[in-house]
Each structure stands twice: as C-alpha cells, then as structure tokens.
C-alpha cells in the first residue's frame, strides 16, 4: 500500500507540475480573455442617453483637420459618437427626436466597431450592439431604415482609413446571437431628454 501511494504521489506531483506549466503557458490567453471581458462589458454598457438625443452636451464644431486624421476622430464630449457625426445627425434631423436617437445610437455602435474590435470576442459584442442600433432604426423609421442606415454608414465610415479598418475588423466575424429586449437605448417611452 505504501509503495502504491508512493507511485501515486509522484504521479500526482507530475500531473500537478504539468498542470502548472499549462497554466503558465495559457496565462497570456487567459489574460487576454479577461481583458476581452472588460472590453466586452464596456461595449455592452455603452448606451446613448436622452441628453445625447436632446443635444444637452453637444460638442463645438471640431477642428476640420482633426476629424478625419485618425480612425477615432474627435469626440470632445466623450459620448462615444464622433463630434462631426453627431453634429451632422442633428443638422439632418433637427425636428425628429426619434430618428435622431436611432441614428445617434447606430453611429455610436459603428464607431465602437471601428475603435474597440480587436478579436472575435470584441467583434461579436460590437456586432450585437450594431444590430441593436440597426433594429432601432428599423423600429423608428418604418420602411425607411435602409435609407437611415446608409446615411449613417456614410457619416461614420467616411474615409479610406475607416473603410479599411471596418474591412479589417470583419476578419474576426463569427456566429453570434442577437440580444433579447428592446433595441433602442432611448425611446419615446423614456422621453428624448430636455
């Protein structure tokens, strides 16, 4: 019995060492997964607010030289929507809060795709959000969702740099599930801000 235990003990020690080695080997991947989870949680938490729709914190006109210099562009009011895009949406839809809300949400989701997707996990999270934005456009603009989608696409993905980034991101495309629940972050039920 003692001999058996001795053999088993060494076996277990060996397995434990192998396991430890695997843990060390896998650490970068696990670390990346943890980072992913944080980014995914951040993507999922990103929502427009009634104040965004009401233009309560509308940013001043950004520097024309800066708006298209990078993929990120300028987001002075830090609401996830590029300032040039936000101002353009307000200019195009000054009276329709519902359409404005839907386009702002969709624009924010597109911008999220451009700036936060680095792998399959973040792609899926961002794509789910973009589909919510698309669904909101659909719900808000019966029959004309395609026009509003195209309009917002053109505002957000407006330079070769951003087009390339958008295409590059598609390499991470995978299967994903549509989210449950309402698509619009802000709806008429909640009100469109002051």
Partner 1 sequence: MATKFLFYFLFLWCVPLIVFASSCSPDSATVVYINGIETTQKEASDDMALLRKDFLQYRGSPNITFLNGYNPSHLGGLGDAIESISQAINSPISNYDLFTIIAQLASQVLTRKVLLVGHSQGGFYANEIYDYLVKSGTPANSIGVYELATPADHVAGNGSYLTSSNDTVINFVRGSQADLRLPQALPANVTILEQASDASNTWSGHIPSVYLNGAAARIAADIKRALGALSADGAGSDSCIAAPQLGSIYALQKSAFAVADPLASNIDAAIRSTATAISEANTIGNDVIHTAFSDAFFAVIPRPTAQNAAGVFAVEKALYGSSLSVADYEALIAGKEIPENIDPPPTPQSKTVQPATPIASPIQAQQQNNQNENPAPATQLPQSQTQSILPIPVPVPITVSPGFGGGAPAPMRTVQSQGSWTAPTAEDSGPPTSTTSQPSAATTTLPFAVTSPLDQSMFSTSTIAFTGTTTPLATISASFGTTTVSTRADADGSWSMLLELLAGTTTVSFGAADTAGDTTATTTRSIVVALAQSTTTMTVATTTATSTTVATNEPAIDNPCGQSPLATSGYFFSGVKDDPEYPSGLLEYHFRINSAYADGRAFKITWQYFDDQCEQSAPENSSTLQVQLPTGVTDWSVRFSSPTHFEIWDDQHNAIALDENGSPIEEDIPALSSYESIKISGTIGGSASTLDSRVVKINGAGEPPSFPDTAIIRSGCTSGYASGVLFDPAYQKSEYVGRLLRIHLRLRSPYNSGPSFPLQVVALGSDCGTPVPDAPTSTVVVSLPVYIRYYSYRMVTPTHWVLWDDENDIEACAGCEGDIPADTIYVGFSATAELRGDNQMWTPSLYPSL
List residues near partner 1 by CB under 8 A: 5, 8-9, 12, 98, 127, 130-131, 134-135, 138-140, 142-143, 146, 149, 170-171, 173-178, 180-184, 187-189
φ/ψ (deg, to 5) at 143: 80, -15
Q: 3-class secondary structure for 26-49?
A: HHHHHHHHHHHHHHHHHHHHCCCC
CB of 137 to partner 1, least distance (A): 10
Residue found under tokens 């809300």: 101
Q: Which is nearer to partner 1, 47 or 76 (CB)?
A: 47
- To partner 1, the closest distance from the beta carbon of 44 in angstroms equals 17
Give Dmax (Cα) for the chain: 85
Q: Judge residue 10's burial from the number of C-beta atoms within 10 Å of its C-beta, 0-12 exposed, 13-18 middle, 19 or more buried.
A: exposed
Closer CB to partner 1, 3 or 78, in the complex? 3
| 23/66 with CB nearer partner 1 | 23
Measured CA to CA, the distance from residue 28 to residue 99 in angstroms comes to 44
What minimum distance in Å lies between the beta carbon of 58 and partner 1? 23
Residues 118, 128 contacting (CB under 8 angstroms) = no
Q: Which CB sits closer to partner 1, 87 or 152? A: 152
State in angstroms the smallest separation of the CB of 1 from partner 1. 8
Instruction: Outline where 80-144 has alpha helix (H).
Output: 83-92, 97-116, 120-140
Q: Which two tokens mark 158?
A: 């407006």
Q: How far is the CB of 140 from partner 1 (least distance, A)?
A: 7
**Residue whose CB is less far from partner 1, 9 or 57:** 9
């Amino acid at each position: 019995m003692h001999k058996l235990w001795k053999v088993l003990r060494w076996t277990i020690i060996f397995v434990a060492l192998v396991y430890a080695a695997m843990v060390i080997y896998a650490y970068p991947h696990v670390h990346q997964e943890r980072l992913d989870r944080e980014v995914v949680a951040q993507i999922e938490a990103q929502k427009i607010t009634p104040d965004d729709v009401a233009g309560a914190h509308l940013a001043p006109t950004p520097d024309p030289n800066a708006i298209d210099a990078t993929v990120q562009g300028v987001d002075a009011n830090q609401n996830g929507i590029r300032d040039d895009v936000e101002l353009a949406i307000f200019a195009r839809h000054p009276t329709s809060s519902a359409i404005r809300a839907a386009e702002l949400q969709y624009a924010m989701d597109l911008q999220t795709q451009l700036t936060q997707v680095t792998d399959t996990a973040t792609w899926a999270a961002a794509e789910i959000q973009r589909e919510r934005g698309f669904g909101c456009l659909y719900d808000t603009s019966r029959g004309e969702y395609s026009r509003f989608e195209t309009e917002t696409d053109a505002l957000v993905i407006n330079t070769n740099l951003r087009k390339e980034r958008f295409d590059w991101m598609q390499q991470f495309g995978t299967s994903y599930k549509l989210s449950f629940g309402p698509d619009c972050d802000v709806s008429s039920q909640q009100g469109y801000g002051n």
